[in-house]
Amino acid sequence: MIEYLVEFLKKKDETREEMIKLAREINKDCALLIRHIHKYNNKEDFKNKLEEISKKIKQLNSLARYPEFVKYLETPQQEFIEAYTLYKIKFFNEIPKFEEFDFIREENYILGLADVVGELRREVLEAMKEDNVKEVERYYKFMEDIYDFLMNFDYYHVVDNLRRKQDICRGILEKTHGDIVNFLENLKLREELRFYRKSQ
């Protein structure tokens, strides 16, 4: 009996260590991928990398044989949804639906989407630098759509961090809206100045 229990706990501990290591690897992969999606436009490279990460997540899922280890799936799955959604919005102009992911838990899909709002703000700011009004409006519309989606849920006792992420999204949305108003006013002023100089 003692030998069995020792072996059981040994295997459980080994599984935990393996999950933690793999989860860190996935988180790092997703963070790097998000940075590259912001900076570069080679969507085929991103597609391959997303497929690699999805395989790692499925491997991680298979290790969650103990109920108390499900928590190790949370951040990697949310990070993947964040990276994948940014990819789909930037290159395909769409938000992926939950039905597309048979390896992602419901809560992690919702919370992962919430994190995309901050990344979309970065795209809005980059578009502002280029005076690209169309892209500013496109990304901001997606920010609004995601926030509206998040506000359908008020199950705060069964989804940890839901309220906090909703509040963060609202704050980002309000700040970005103010930035856009200032940007459009500034752009209008610059255009008027250009017109004035040409007419002189």
The residue extents of the domains of the chain are 1-104, 117-200
Residue-wise pLDDT tens digits, 63-116: 999 999 999 999 999 999 999 999 999 999 999 999 999 999 999 999 999 999
Q: Cα angle vertex 32, ends 56, 27, to 5°?
A: 40
pLDDT of residue 193: 78
Whole-angstrom Cα distance, residue 92 to residue 97?
Answer: 13
pLDDT of residue 23: 98
Q: Which of 107, 6, 115, 25 is nearest to 63 (CA)?
A: 25
pLDDT of residue 197: 66
Q: Cβ contacts of residue 177 below 8 Å, gap of 6+? A: 140
pLDDT of residue 1: 86
Q: Pick out the chain residues at pLDDT < 50.
A: none
Q: Which of 72, 101, 103, 107 is nearest to 88 (CA)?
A: 101
SS3 (DSSP) at 131: coil
Whole-angstrom Cα distance, residue 76 to residue 28?
Answer: 9
pLDDT of residue 195: 67
The whole-model pTM stands at 0.93
Q: 1-104 has which fold?
A: Methane Monooxygenase Hydroxylase; Chain G, domain 1 (1.20.58)
Whole-angstrom Cα distance, residue 57 to residue 63?
Answer: 10
Is the CB of residue 81 less than 8 Å from the CB of residue 104? yes
